[in-house]
Amino acid sequence: MIGILGQLHPTFDALSAYSDSSDVVAARTRVGRHVAGCSSCREVVEEIRGLGETARAMPAEPAPSNLWLRIRAAASEPHALEPVEPSAAIGAGAAGRRRRMVAAMLTAAVAAAVVAVIAWPPTAGLHAAVTSRLTFTPSRPVPGGVVTVRYDAPDWMKDATRLVLVGQFARPAGLNPSRFAARMEDALADSLGVLTRDADGSFGGTLHLPSNFLAVQLSVLEPVRDQEAMDGIESWIIIGGSPTRTPSLASLLAAAEVRANPFSRDDGAPRQNVDVADSLKRYFPRHPAGWAYSRSYGVSRARFDLLRFFESAERKYSSLYDELWPRRGLDAERLHDMVMFAHRIDEPAEVMRWAGRLAEEHPEDPRALGDLANALHQVELRTPRSLGDSIRAWLPALDRAYRSAPVPNDGFDDALRLAVGYGDTATIARWRERSAANGRIGNVWMMASRKWAPARDSVATEMRVRGERICALPAGRLPLAGSATEWRMRCEMYRGMAYGYLSWHTLEQARPRQALAEADSAIVALRRGGWCTPSRGYFDHALAALALGDTATAAHDFIVEQAAYPATFAPMLDSAKVHLGPRFDRVASLAGADSARRAAQPCIDAARMRRQARNQRLAGEMGGRR
Amino acid sequence: MDMPRPTPGFIASLASHGDDAMTFRERLDRTIAGDTGALGELFVSHGDLVFGTARRLTGSAADAEDVTQDLFVRLPAALRGFTGGHATFDAWIRRVAVRQALMHLRSGRRRRETSVEGVASLVMRDDHALERLSIEDALERLSPGHRTVFLLKEVEGYEHSEIADLLGISVANSEVRLHRARRQLRDLLGGSR
């Protein structure tokens, strides 16, 4: 650089070196003499020194408070205490790190305070210490082992002579049902043992674990009164270990999928999820599931809020992506985990990337179909219809995954819908056959709502079968959550909906008399299911009655149908007017609906009382031990 | 049965057993003897220092957590070689932290995170060319080699000969890295020349 008098300025490096020297030494150098007489170079030197001062003034980030827990767990393992001296050789860390990690994991495994029973009172804070009524030993049972269970019963249960331990064993991750509400059979559990009363008033028993044990979801049932104990939570979960009593990744992943309440449509057990995720992070720090395992996405619920514990998920995703994507031959487990991780950070393009790879490389994996169908659905939601070609290109992969999957899975509904929406005639026919063979109520309702004519017969068949069978509680099985009574009520509700669809379908077939009978069945079932104003059943009944020329019955049905809605809800009145035409009597209709509402009120009040009593009982269980 | 987890009062309860309860040397001796409580007190008093040092050098909170954990897990054994007192402990543990962080950087087990905040600041800089970066942002944008030398020299106070020894490079290389780091920082921070 050239100075104002044509004199050469020192280079930046020279000024940088000058800035490090003491003033006395520096002044004697050529650069020092130049700087003394050059204001612009003095400015540069000041700037250089200012950089160091600014860096030293950077605010220090405090250590995360949870870091101590990791340190404590690791430090209590004697083998972890390798010395590190200030003069230790650089580069010796990797092997030590591996040893330390193993040591930390082993230590944490034997620590008693691991997430084993998850008891989460909804009203308590995340960190609240809770003593569970149900305890068991050993704390991390091994497959094929025996667990001793103790239960400190709430007051209302203490006069019982025996209690039933009801449970459902978790399947491997990715195979646990996620839509319990539509699949009553998935909400069923086995009687796993009997708890008998001991001298001290508590109950005890044993639980024999199968050889493929991963985790089990438990509830306690009082069989005489047919009431479940939930300890303020929905159920308990025991997470298993390996034969060496080290934490089992498979167990943790399976437990992460278990819903505390099978009937809940929420991810309603944030404590459980965060505890399981915490364990994953603690025991398997490099596993993405530790930060991301979740089957839901796009839902701003407690689960995600609490997972802020694993902050900077995007950065971790980025890191894992760099590490994993270039690798060939990744196992299905890891690919699926990355699908879940991408869901967690709400990146549909990334979901598609990993799901596509899973379907291509491991079509036989039972999660491949669901992951791909779900990913395509996300693409579908976010892209214009004109981009349907990109979805169409994946239909063969869906086909392959369906053919390769050893068991039907939850992806079927989404795959079916995509095939119907984007496939050619042959594809649609193929998936229709699969739907008939592997159908569920969810599938057939979806197809019915699309008024997809070729499927109607198989839909009707499916509905008829399901309508008959759905509430047949298999011998020896019990509901996992809620009493048997509640379970049956829910079944009846689904049965009523099935008959309602059947009635509509039969009427389309010009068989009004049978449609009327099916609508009657729907009304009966819906009432048994606790639906005080089964409007849908009455609507179907009204249409069938009209088809038979029975206007008076239809008018009555339309009136009762309105009872489910407030008097100000005009569309129902309009609907009756359209169907009845000149025979519609507005005054009589309004008065009749008002009367029907009053008639339904005792049923509504009774249902409210039942809910209140249940809540009070649960509150009593909670209050008794705090 | 519940998992142990930190509560708001947990760290404070550790800190309350401070110098009044025992001398600093006693605390070190108890740590050496395997007293986890004493180790916890050292974490309370020096965890931030270790974490902050590691955070600066690694440029990543996740890596800094690993470094801090490594250091404290191995601290009881390392303390056997420390004969100083309270006055020199800060400098000693800080040097240990530097060593540990450098080992971590060298070990290849860094998490290679892409800083979302860093990306955001880059975007902002494109949009607002006149807006200056903070020193943290600017440091993030240096190469690891340049950033490490700059921080060791300017923040940790090492001489070039020590840096050369620590990093396995020549003294001249250390000096060159420092000059280049300074030049880049000055450019990034909007220097005039």
What backbone torsions phi and psi does residue A84 show, to the nearest 5 degrees? -130, 115
Return residues 29-68 of A near B (CB < 8 Å): 40, 43-44, 47-48, 51-52, 54-56, 58, 60-68
Q: Which of A149-158, A275-284, A295-304 has the lowest mean pLDDT?
A: A295-304
Determine the straight-line distance between the first and last CA of chain B, rounded to whole angstroms: 64
User: Around Cβ B133, how many Cβ atoms within 10 Å?
Assistant: 19
Cβ–Cβ < 8 Å for A181, A410 = no
Q: Kindly report the three-state secondary structure assignment for every residue of A198-255.
A: CCCCCEEEEEECCCCCCEEEEEEEECCCCEEECCCCCCEEEECECCCCCECHHHHHHH
Chain A contact present for B171, CB below 8 A: no
Judged by CB atoms closer than 8 Å, whether chains meet at B183 and A12 is answered as: yes
List of chain A residues whose C-beta atoms are within 8 Å of the C-beta of residue B148: none
E-strand ranges in A21-180 read 134-137, 146-151, 162-169
Return residues 147-206 of A near B (CB < 8 Å): none
H-state helical runs in A439-550: 441-449, 456-469, 484-508, 512-528, 535-547
Q: In whole angstroms, give the CA distance from residue A124 to residue A143.
A: 32
For residue A477, the cross-strand partners are A190
The upper half-sphere exposure of residue B185, i.e. CA atoms within 13 Å in the direction of its Cβ, equals 29
Q: In whole angstroms, give the CA distance from residue A37 to residue B1.
A: 74
Cβ–Cβ < 8 Å for A384, A370 = no
The predicted structure's pLDDT at residue A570: 65
**Closest residue by Cα to residue B3 from A204, A277, A170:** A277
Residues in chain A: 626
Please give the DSSP secondary-structure letter assigned to residue A189: E
List of chain A residues whose C-beta atoms are within 8 Å of the C-beta of residue B108: 94
The predicted structure's pLDDT at residue A203: 92
Q: Residue A95 to residues A81, A82, A168, A355, A519: CA-CA distances in angstroms? A: 14, 11, 42, 34, 72
The predicted structure's pLDDT at residue A404: 84
Write the pLDDT tens digit of every residue in A57-70.
Answer: 777 777 876 677 66
A487: pLDDT strictly greater than 60: yes
A276: pLDDT strictly greater than 60: yes
- Supply the pTM of this predicted model: 0.43
Q: Which of A318-332, A427-441, A445-459, B147-161 has the lowest mean pLDDT?
A: A445-459
Return residues 141-170 of B near A (CB < 8 Å): 150-151, 153-155, 166-168
Number of CB pairs, chain A paired with chain B, less than 8 A apart: 218
Pick out chain B residues at pLDDT < 50: 1-21, 109-132, 192-193
The Cα of A238 is separated from the nearest Cα of chain B by a number of Å equal to: 11
The Cα of B78 is separated from the nearest Cα of chain A by a number of Å equal to: 4
The Cα of B7 is separated from the nearest Cα of chain A by a number of Å equal to: 7
Most confident of A335-339, A340-344, B132-136: A335-339
Pick from A52, A132, A315: CB nearest B115: A315
Write the pLDDT tens digit of every residue in A489-547.
Answer: 777 877 887 888 788 888 888 899 999 999 999 999 888 888 888 877 888 899 999 99
Chain A contact present for B50, CB below 8 A: yes
Chain A contact present for B16, CB below 8 A: no
User: Around Cβ A586, how many Cβ atoms within 10 Å?
Assistant: 10
Percent of chain A with pLDDT over 90: 9
- My answer on whether omega of the bond before A86 falls inside 30° of 0, hence cis, is no
Q: Residue A480 to residues A270, B31, B151: CA-CA distances in angstroms? A: 19, 49, 59
DSSP string, A577-592: HHHHGGG--HHHHHHH
Chain B contact present for A119, CB below 8 A: yes
